[in-house]
Amino acid sequence: MKAKTILGIICWMLISAVSFADDEITWNSLDASQQEILAEFSGDWSNLPAKRRQRLVRGADHWVAMSSEQRNEAQGRFSNWRELSDDRKDLIRERYETYRSLAPDEQKRIRENFRRFNRMNRDRRQQMRDRYHNMTPDQRQRARDRMSDRPRPPPRD
């Protein structure tokens, strides 16, 4: 009985190791465009966690699929990100985690409000920013409460 149990455990471990190895992304398994994009990671590739390698490969594939205009925009956003202070980056990450913890309908409401704000002309957006920054914390909270209570307009096609 012990022998069968031990043999079963060994077989299970071997199968697990083989299936884990199948999920492993080696540097040589990448195509030329992926290797070119991820060249800065080539020396440490085998030391990176498997999930990190998977994210990097997905990102490289996404980059290849982008138009040159989309790539330029992404590079601009990344440049802006690198110029932010560590405190500002931490605040953005914290707010993103808060957003991710919200219910899907609440996330949708926030995205819709953001899109509506971005469709406004520049002067109107600046007026709204100035008005918001001049509010007291209590006034800001009341405005947020009113925004969450108001009826939603139907989505545009």
Query: What pLDDT sits at residue 147?
Result: 75
Query: What pLDDT sits at residue 86?
Result: 95
State yes or no: pLDDT of 9 exceeds 60: no
What is the pTM assigned to this prediction?
A: 0.55
Match 């110029």 to its residue by tokens. 83
Query: 67-83 burial by CB neighbour count: b if 16+ within 10 A, else e?
Result: eeeeeeeeeeeeeeeee
State yes or no: pLDDT of 106 exceeds 70: yes
Match 């969450």 to its residue by tokens. 148
pLDDT, tens digit (0-9, with 9 covering 90-100), for 31-68? 999 999 999 999 999 999 999 999 999 999 999 999 99
Helix (H, G, I), strand (E, B) or coil at 91: helix
Contact 80, 62 (CB under 8 A): no
CA atoms within 13 A on the CB side of 11: 6
Least confident of 16-30, 88-102, 128-142: 16-30
Which residue, among 57, 52, 67, has the nearest Cα to 31 in the 3D structure?
57
Give the number of other Cβ atoms within 10 Å of residue 45's Cβ. Answer: 17
Which residue, among 69, 70, 93, has the nearest Cα to 81 in the 3D structure?
93
Query: What pLDDT sits at residue 24?
Result: 83
Give the chain's length: 157
C-alpha 155: how far from chain center: 24
pLDDT, tens digit (0-9, with 9 covering 90-100), for 67-94? 999 999 999 999 999 999 999 999 999 9
